[in-house]
Structure 1
Amino acid sequence: MLTLHSIACSSESTQPLPLTKIDLHQQKIFLWLPQQPVPIEQALTLRLEVPENVTPELSQVEGVSMYMGTIPLMWQQLSPTEWQATLYLGACTDPKMEWRLTVPLRHELATVPQSVSYLFTSAAN
């Protein structure tokens, strides 16, 4: 019984958050992000779909509406075209925060940009 209580009180959510598919570049690059405003102080799973032979490099999330430094984001490959990263946004004094995700892309394709960005918001729980 004590073990069940410890699990129930854990801050980690066992329910996956609903994801929204976002077109980052001409139906070639897609981001799956929790519905906005995204929650703070919990692990958020992001997915990225890119063409084959395109690799997302070390990315960053930075506060737009308030300076919060930068949060590094490392992508792990799930398939030749799909990548995943975990993001953890901390709390700040602004209850509704605007963020910018910037993803540099390594490739040799003329039809794909060198980086993509996306603005999103978070809200205190």
Structure 2
Amino acid sequence: MNSWLRGMITVLILAHLWGCSEPTTEHQQARQMQAADMDTAAVKFSITPARPQPEHPIFIQLTLPTEWQPQPSQLVAITMYMGSLPVIWQADDDTAGVWHTTLQVGACAESEMEWQLRVPLQTPQGQELLFFPLVTYLSDVTE
């Protein structure tokens, strides 16, 4: 086998392994808060549909204290490396403190794909960072 072909095979194998690897941990500048650490009356997070599927719209609603504002956020793939998606929040016209967004994720080979929504917040105390789990399912049928 010539060296060019051997080199191409090596590159393809490395690209495949890199694409399936766990994402690297990012250094977080802001104070981090898990959703479980929040007062449940102060922060509410909901996803519609309850079993979101890849390549279908996912509606997310976030209810925060009125003096908090979500900043541009990221949806990061956890199960396998698929990069991250930008998330932009829109304020609800009728209810103060309610924000929403609609997004779609790509399909992968996993029947269940774990994601993490990272939401930077501007609060009176400064910058905060919330994390919310999200799981997408290849099928909307529970087993």
Instruction: Map 1:19-98; keep pairs closer than 5 Å.
Output: 25-27=38-40, 28-34=42-48, 36-78=50-92, 79-98=95-114
Contact 2:74 2:118 in 1 (8 A): yes
1:33 is displaced (CA, Å) by 0.9
Partner of 1:11 in structure 2?
Answer: none
Candidates 103, 108, 111, aligned match of 2:119: 103
- What is the distance in 2 between the residues matched to 1:124 and 1:107? 37
Instruction: Kindly report the root-mean-square deviation, in angstroms, between the aligned alpha carbons of the 2 structures.
Output: 2.1
TM-score (norm 1): 0.73
User: Is the strand fraction higher in 1 or 2?
Assistant: 1
Q: Distance in 2 between matches of 1:75 and 1:24?
A: 22
Distance 1:106 1:80, change over 3 A: same
Secondary structure of the corresponding residue to residue 38 of structure 1: coil
| Unmatched tracts of structure 2, length 5 or more | 1-34
Structure 1: 5+ residue stretches without partners = 1-21
User: Whose helix fraction is larger, Structure 1's or Structure 2's?
Assistant: 2
> Shift of residue 23 of structure 1?
6.5
Q: Percent identity?
A: 25
Task: Tell me the equivalent position of 1:120.
Answer: 134
Distance 2:137 2:104 in 1: 13
Deviation at 1:108, TM superposition (A): 1.0
TM-score, with structure 2 as normaliser: 0.64
User: What SS does the corresponding residue of 1:122 show, helix, strand or coil?
Assistant: strand
Is the 8 Å Cα contact of residues 97 and 121 (structure 1) preserved in structure 2?
yes
Aligned mates of 2:83, 2:131 — CA distance in 1: 17
Q: Which aligned segments of 4 or more residues in structure 1 are displaced greater than 4 angstroms? A: none
The total of aligned residue pairs comes to 102
Contact 1:59 1:74 in 2 (8 A): yes
